[in-house]
Structure 1
Amino acid sequence: MRSHRKYDPNFKREAVRLVIEDGMGIREVERSLGITYGVLKGWVQKHRDHQDAAFVGSHAPESPEAELKRLRKENERLQRERDILKKAVAIFSTDPHRYSGS
Protein backbone atom coordinates (compact mmCIF):
# COMPACT_ATOMS: atom_id res chain seq x y z
CA MET A 1 0.00 0.00 0.00
CA ARG A 2 1.36 3.38 -0.99
CA SER A 3 1.15 6.25 1.50
CA HIS A 4 0.50 9.78 0.38
CA ARG A 5 2.60 12.46 2.02
CA LYS A 6 0.89 15.77 2.77
CA TYR A 7 2.85 18.86 1.81
CA ASP A 8 2.37 22.27 3.37
CA PRO A 9 0.97 24.91 0.95
CA ASN A 10 4.02 27.12 1.54
CA PHE A 11 6.32 24.22 0.69
CA LYS A 12 4.41 23.68 -2.56
CA ARG A 13 4.60 27.38 -3.46
CA GLU A 14 8.33 27.46 -2.80
CA ALA A 15 8.96 24.31 -4.87
CA VAL A 16 6.95 25.77 -7.77
CA ARG A 17 8.81 29.08 -7.43
CA LEU A 18 12.13 27.25 -7.84
CA VAL A 19 10.90 25.89 -11.17
CA ILE A 20 9.08 28.93 -12.54
CA GLU A 21 11.14 31.85 -11.25
CA ASP A 22 14.58 30.31 -10.70
CA GLY A 23 14.43 28.11 -13.81
CA MET A 24 15.42 24.90 -12.06
CA GLY A 25 14.36 21.61 -13.62
CA ILE A 26 11.41 19.75 -12.15
CA ARG A 27 13.39 16.56 -11.51
CA GLU A 28 16.24 18.56 -9.95
CA VAL A 29 13.85 20.26 -7.50
CA GLU A 30 12.10 16.97 -6.72
CA ARG A 31 15.43 15.34 -5.91
CA SER A 32 16.74 18.22 -3.83
CA LEU A 33 13.53 18.56 -1.80
CA GLY A 34 12.76 14.85 -1.54
CA ILE A 35 9.48 15.14 -3.42
CA THR A 36 8.02 12.01 -4.98
CA TYR A 37 8.69 11.76 -8.71
CA GLY A 38 5.99 13.44 -10.81
CA VAL A 39 4.28 15.34 -7.97
CA LEU A 40 5.94 18.68 -8.70
CA LYS A 41 4.83 18.64 -12.33
CA GLY A 42 1.21 18.58 -11.12
CA TRP A 43 1.89 21.47 -8.72
CA VAL A 44 3.43 23.54 -11.51
CA GLN A 45 0.41 22.90 -13.73
CA LYS A 46 -1.99 23.73 -10.89
CA HIS A 47 -0.10 26.99 -10.32
CA ARG A 48 -0.30 27.87 -14.02
CA ASP A 49 -4.05 27.19 -14.00
CA HIS A 50 -4.94 28.91 -10.72
CA GLN A 51 -2.00 31.21 -9.83
CA ASP A 52 -2.28 32.46 -6.22
CA ALA A 53 -5.33 30.32 -5.40
CA ALA A 54 -3.50 27.11 -6.31
CA PHE A 55 -2.28 26.18 -2.83
CA VAL A 56 -4.72 27.60 -0.34
CA GLY A 57 -4.49 25.70 2.93
CA SER A 58 -7.20 23.15 3.57
CA HIS A 59 -7.58 24.06 7.22
CA ALA A 60 -8.59 27.22 9.04
CA PRO A 61 -5.79 29.35 10.47
CA GLU A 62 -5.03 28.51 14.07
CA SER A 63 -6.28 30.76 16.83
CA PRO A 64 -3.73 32.97 18.61
CA GLU A 65 -4.07 30.76 21.70
CA ALA A 66 -3.46 27.57 19.71
CA GLU A 67 -0.49 29.15 17.96
CA LEU A 68 0.97 30.27 21.29
CA LYS A 69 0.55 26.77 22.73
CA ARG A 70 2.16 25.19 19.65
CA LEU A 71 5.07 27.66 19.71
CA ARG A 72 5.67 27.12 23.44
CA LYS A 73 5.79 23.36 22.89
CA GLU A 74 8.18 23.79 19.97
CA ASN A 75 10.33 26.16 22.04
CA GLU A 76 10.58 23.58 24.84
CA ARG A 77 11.62 20.90 22.34
CA LEU A 78 14.25 23.16 20.81
CA GLN A 79 15.63 24.06 24.24
CA ARG A 80 15.95 20.35 25.11
CA GLU A 81 17.75 19.71 21.80
CA ARG A 82 20.08 22.65 22.45
CA ASP A 83 20.88 21.37 25.94
CA ILE A 84 21.69 17.91 24.58
CA LEU A 85 23.99 19.42 21.95
CA LYS A 86 25.74 21.56 24.58
CA LYS A 87 26.41 18.43 26.65
CA ALA A 88 27.70 16.57 23.61
CA VAL A 89 30.07 19.43 22.75
CA ALA A 90 31.34 19.48 26.33
CA ILE A 91 31.96 15.72 26.28
CA PHE A 92 33.74 15.68 22.93
CA SER A 93 35.80 18.80 23.60
CA THR A 94 37.33 17.47 26.85
CA ASP A 95 39.50 14.88 25.08
CA PRO A 96 39.47 15.19 21.27
CA HIS A 97 41.43 11.93 20.78
CA ARG A 98 39.17 9.89 23.03
CA TYR A 99 36.41 9.50 20.41
CA SER A 100 38.34 9.86 17.16
CA GLY A 101 39.57 6.30 17.05
CA SER A 102 43.20 7.44 17.34
Structure 2
Amino acid sequence: MKQYDKEFKLMIVDLLESGQSAKQVSEDYKLNANMIRRWLREQRSNKESFTGKGNPSLSDSEKELHVLRKELAEVKLERDILKKAVGIFSRND
Protein backbone atom coordinates (compact mmCIF):
# COMPACT_ATOMS: atom_id res chain seq x y z
CA MET A 1 0.00 0.00 0.00
CA LYS A 2 1.42 3.35 -1.02
CA GLN A 3 2.07 5.88 1.74
CA TYR A 4 1.49 9.59 1.18
CA ASP A 5 3.11 12.27 3.31
CA LYS A 6 1.22 14.99 5.12
CA GLU A 7 2.20 17.73 2.67
CA PHE A 8 0.88 15.76 -0.30
CA LYS A 9 -2.42 15.04 1.45
CA LEU A 10 -2.81 18.69 2.42
CA MET A 11 -2.11 19.73 -1.18
CA ILE A 12 -4.82 17.37 -2.43
CA VAL A 13 -7.27 18.67 0.19
CA ASP A 14 -6.46 22.24 -0.85
CA LEU A 15 -7.27 21.36 -4.46
CA LEU A 16 -10.63 19.94 -3.38
CA GLU A 17 -11.38 22.99 -1.26
CA SER A 18 -10.49 25.29 -4.16
CA GLY A 19 -13.38 23.83 -6.13
CA GLN A 20 -11.87 20.99 -8.11
CA SER A 21 -13.92 17.81 -8.11
CA ALA A 22 -12.71 14.67 -6.37
CA LYS A 23 -13.07 12.82 -9.65
CA GLN A 24 -10.85 15.29 -11.52
CA VAL A 25 -8.17 15.35 -8.79
CA SER A 26 -8.20 11.56 -8.59
CA GLU A 27 -7.69 11.29 -12.35
CA ASP A 28 -4.96 13.94 -12.41
CA TYR A 29 -2.95 12.34 -9.61
CA LYS A 30 -3.98 8.71 -10.19
CA LEU A 31 -5.57 8.40 -6.74
CA ASN A 32 -8.71 6.69 -5.52
CA ALA A 33 -11.54 9.25 -5.34
CA ASN A 34 -12.93 7.73 -2.13
CA MET A 35 -9.53 8.03 -0.48
CA ILE A 36 -9.17 11.71 -1.26
CA ARG A 37 -12.74 12.39 -0.07
CA ARG A 38 -11.77 10.68 3.20
CA TRP A 39 -8.69 12.89 3.45
CA LEU A 40 -10.97 15.92 3.03
CA ARG A 41 -13.33 14.68 5.78
CA GLU A 42 -10.41 13.98 8.10
CA GLN A 43 -8.95 17.43 7.55
CA ARG A 44 -12.29 19.16 8.11
CA SER A 45 -13.05 17.20 11.28
CA ASN A 46 -9.59 17.41 12.81
CA LYS A 47 -6.99 20.06 12.02
CA GLU A 48 -4.30 17.76 13.51
CA SER A 49 -4.99 15.09 10.89
CA PHE A 50 -2.36 13.30 8.83
CA THR A 51 0.00 12.73 11.74
CA GLY A 52 1.77 9.96 9.88
CA LYS A 53 1.12 6.52 8.42
CA GLY A 54 -2.54 6.58 9.33
CA ASN A 55 -1.91 6.54 13.06
CA PRO A 56 -3.39 9.20 15.28
CA SER A 57 -0.98 11.09 17.49
CA LEU A 58 -1.10 9.78 21.04
CA SER A 59 -0.30 11.46 24.33
CA ASP A 60 2.54 10.07 26.41
CA SER A 61 0.13 8.27 28.74
CA GLU A 62 -1.74 6.74 25.79
CA LYS A 63 1.55 5.53 24.29
CA GLU A 64 2.55 3.99 27.62
CA LEU A 65 -0.84 2.31 27.95
CA HIS A 66 -0.51 0.87 24.45
CA VAL A 67 2.97 -0.50 25.23
CA LEU A 68 1.79 -2.01 28.53
CA ARG A 69 -1.23 -3.68 26.91
CA LYS A 70 0.99 -5.18 24.20
CA GLU A 71 3.44 -6.43 26.82
CA LEU A 72 0.60 -7.93 28.88
CA ALA A 73 -0.71 -9.81 25.84
CA GLU A 74 2.76 -11.22 25.17
CA VAL A 75 3.18 -12.32 28.80
CA LYS A 76 -0.25 -14.02 28.76
CA LEU A 77 0.70 -15.89 25.59
CA GLU A 78 3.99 -17.03 27.12
CA ARG A 79 2.14 -18.18 30.25
CA ASP A 80 -0.35 -20.19 28.21
CA ILE A 81 2.45 -21.85 26.24
CA LEU A 82 4.25 -22.79 29.44
CA LYS A 83 1.04 -24.23 30.92
CA LYS A 84 0.59 -26.42 27.87
CA ALA A 85 4.24 -27.53 28.00
CA VAL A 86 3.92 -28.49 31.68
CA GLY A 87 0.79 -30.49 30.87
CA ILE A 88 2.49 -32.32 28.01
CA PHE A 89 5.63 -33.16 30.00
CA SER A 90 3.71 -34.27 33.10
CA ARG A 91 1.61 -36.74 31.02
CA ASN A 92 4.73 -38.44 29.64
CA ASP A 93 6.15 -39.20 33.11
- Which interval holds the TM-score relative to the shorter structure? 0.5 to 0.7
Alignment of 1:10 with 2:2, yes or no, is: no
TM-score (norm 2): 0.52
Paired-residue identity, %: 23
State the shift of 1:38 in Å: 1.2
Higher radius of gyration, 1 or 2: 2
| Counterparts of residues 5-84 of structure 1 (less than 5 Å) | 5-20=2-17, 22-51=18-47, 53-58=48-53
- Runs of 4+ in structure 1 over 6 Å off: none
Query: CA separation in 2, counterparts of 1:10 and 1:57?
Result: 11
CA offset at residue 8 of structure 1? Answer: 1.1
Runs of at least 5 residues in structure 1 that lack an aligned partner in the other structure:
59-102
- The DSSP-based 3-state class of the residue aligned with 1:38 is helix
SS at match of 1:17: helix
- Provide the aligned length of Structure 1 versus Structure 2: 53
- The structural deviation recorded for 1:5 is 1.2
Cα distance in 2 for residues equivalent to 1:36 and 1:26 = 9
Distance 1:36 1:25 in 2: 13
Structure with bigger RCO (C-alpha 8 Å, 6+ apart): 2
Query: Which structure has greater helix proportion?
Result: 2
